[in-house]
Structure 1
Amino acid sequence: MATPTMWMVRAGERAWRIEDFERESLVSIGWQEMGDMTALRTREEFVRQVERSYPEAKKAWIPGAAGQAFRFVREIKVGDAVVTYNPAERAYLVGTVTGNYEYAVELSSEQPNLRRVKWRGRVARDQLSVAARNSLGAISTLFVIPPDAAAEIERLLISQPEAPSAARRAAVADEGVDDLYKDIQAKAFEFIKDKVSQLDWEDMQDLVAGLLRAMGYKTRISPSGSDRGKDIVASPDGFGFEDPRIVVEVKHRTAAMSSREIRSFLGGRHENDKGLYVSTGGFTKDARYEAERGRIPVTLLDMDDLVKALLEHYERMDIDMQRLIPLRKLYWPV
């Protein structure tokens, strides 16, 4: 026998309908502007109804809204498990879907789309593993809970173990939070690299110049097409008269730079110059060897190095440069 699907259905913003959910034995969603969705069958029909009901909505929002409405009306089945979260109690209410889709505006004008539910009990959030808590943290109104987390909820619902002490909860949390943070950090790093890779060449050149200014240098950017082996010159005075004079070459392409490009770059440098070569496509092994034995000091920055430097100096970058790669700070418990 197949294991029933388990759904999360949130009780509105800040769980404002949680008492109604429990008292009236139901779960519900909004999208009241769409009216009764009983006659809608396919995803395409739901998309068209969203477009008609929300003519001012952003195009990117429409598929997600239609998808959630479609799932609530058409994909949830009688017998499926359902979970909703009560933040005041820090507990998940767990039940079983007992009825098909209904449109009942008389019960709630704001959330008239409902499913009848038989509630079976509660599972405290603190009893769940960090991995399970993470999977339940999506902001979507409705989504399928991953099988491992669903199985954990079912086990806890049946066994109802003694609530762990505060010390034990903290210890269990610490075991998984570090790994979760590393995972999120790695994903964020890759998304930032995606943003950087989408810049055109001129914006990339401006970004590198902005990074150098954030590090305390003044910069001059060469006119397009006439760099003569340099795209940016950075120095304390901005003219290149004071040391260090850093000559920068920026290559924004997918191919790795070879030793020939590094030799060409080094060949036109003055004796007291310092070199910075930025290549979003990286460098071959021979190119790195060429840089190490060059007659002037030269630093090679690939995409990973560039993004690491960007994150290190981001808050000191001017606002125009931050607009090129807009980032949002995230606070994380330690």
Structure 2
Amino acid sequence: MRFWLLKAAGTLEDEELILEYSVITIGWAEFADLSSIRNEAQIKRIMLEKYPGMQDERSSAWAGEIYSFITKIKKGDLVAVPLKTRNEMLIGKVTGEYEYRQISDFVRHIRSVSWLKTLPKEDFEGEYGVDLSSPETLSLIEAGPEKFSDITKVKTLGVLLEELNFTLDELGSLKERLLELTYRLAETEEISEVREIAAEMEKILTEK
């Protein structure tokens, strides 16, 4: 199992589509189906035919990324996709081989995934030592077995429902307490009591 960083999510609409369809994409939608590709040189040739003025070093790097997306990412590998419109990383497990399927103008070269969770970008960068501002679109993340274990931990539906119910109950109690304090505040004219009520309300709101 390997862990890949893939910085190709497209627009807000494309981000919603990769979530909805459970896929990742490498971009390069201007290229036709690449299923028959056998090596990086073929991709580079296609790229230079499309963009004849492209620098050789750049075309080699991009061809390598596309080839890795098609052939080197394996089913069972993990992938992290930074969202452009949110301060979050999508974490998923690859479940399918390369496909060419038009989902949007941008999302055509795809791999199926099972989305596992989201993580804040800052936490992800710190935990895995990656730089999300680096120019590479696709790269490997160095991660030991213990980090693979952490990243693949997914809460069961039962646990999530228990946490949700607890949170809703807690919010209900807080709402009742805030309403009670509001009524007290409306009824009193004592400055000391007003300050006491205001302090308690501030404490509740700050802690929650």
Unaligned runs of 5+ in 2: 156-208
| Structure 1 vs Structure 2 CA RMSD | 2.7
The counterpart of 2:108, out of the listed 112, 133, 136, is 112
* CA distance 1:151–1:86, shift in 2 (3 Å): farther
Contact 1:100 1:116 in 2 (8 A): yes
Q: Deviations over 1:73-103 (max 9, x none)?
A: 1111111111111254422111111111111
* Counterpart residue number, 1:65: 62
* Counterpart residue number, 2:199: none
How much has 1:42 moved relative to structure 2? 1.2
- The percent identity for this pair of structures is 24
Larger CA Rg, structure 1 vs 2: 1
Amino acid in the other structure paired with 2:91: V
4+ residue runs of structure 1 moved beyond 4 angstroms?
13-16
Amino acid in the other structure paired with 1:152: K
* Counterpart residue number, 2:135: 139
* CA distance 1:41–1:11, shift in 2 (3 Å): same
* Counterpart residue number, 2:97: 100
Q: Which has the higher contact order (CA 8 A, sep 6+)?
A: 2
Contact 2:15 2:83 in 1 (8 A): yes
Secondary structure of 2:74's match? Answer: coil
* CA distance 1:6–1:17, shift in 2 (3 Å): same
Matched residues, number: 155
Contact 1:32 1:111 in 2 (8 A): yes
Moved more, 35-44 or 55-64: 55-64
d(CA) in 2 for partners of 1:52 and 1:74?
Answer: 22
d(CA) in 1 for partners of 2:105 and 2:44?
Answer: 22
Contact 1:51 1:62 in 2 (8 A): yes
d(CA) in 2 for partners of 1:79 and 1:49?
Answer: 29
Secondary structure of 1:23's match? Answer: helix
* CA distance 1:21–1:90, shift in 2 (3 Å): same
Amino acid in the other structure paired with 1:121: K
The counterpart of 1:36, out of the listed 2, 25, 33, is 33
How much has 1:120 moved relative to structure 2? 1.1
The counterpart of 1:121, out of the listed 117, 122, 126, is 117
* Counterpart residue number, 2:150: 155
Q: Which has the higher helix share?
A: 2
Task: Report matched runs for 1:170-181 at 5 Å.
Answer: none
* CA distance 1:131–1:116, shift in 2 (3 Å): closer
d(CA) in 2 for partners of 1:51 and 1:109?
Answer: 21
Amino acid in the other structure paired with 1:29: I
Pair 1:90-2:123 in alignment: no
Secondary structure of 1:37's match? Answer: coil
d(CA) in 2 for partners of 1:134 and 1:67?
Answer: 20
Amino acid in the other structure paired with 2:137: T
* Counterpart residue number, 2:190: none
d(CA) in 2 for partners of 1:133 and 1:87?
Answer: 19
d(CA) in 2 for partners of 1:118 and 1:131?
Answer: 22
d(CA) in 2 for partners of 1:158 and 1:49?
Answer: 40
Report the TM-score when normalising by structure 2. 0.64
How much has 1:126 moved relative to structure 2? 4.0
* CA distance 1:147–1:6, shift in 2 (3 Å): same
d(CA) in 1 for partners of 2:124 and 2:29?
Answer: 34
* CA distance 1:38–1:128, shift in 2 (3 Å): closer
Unaligned runs of 5+ in 1: 161-334
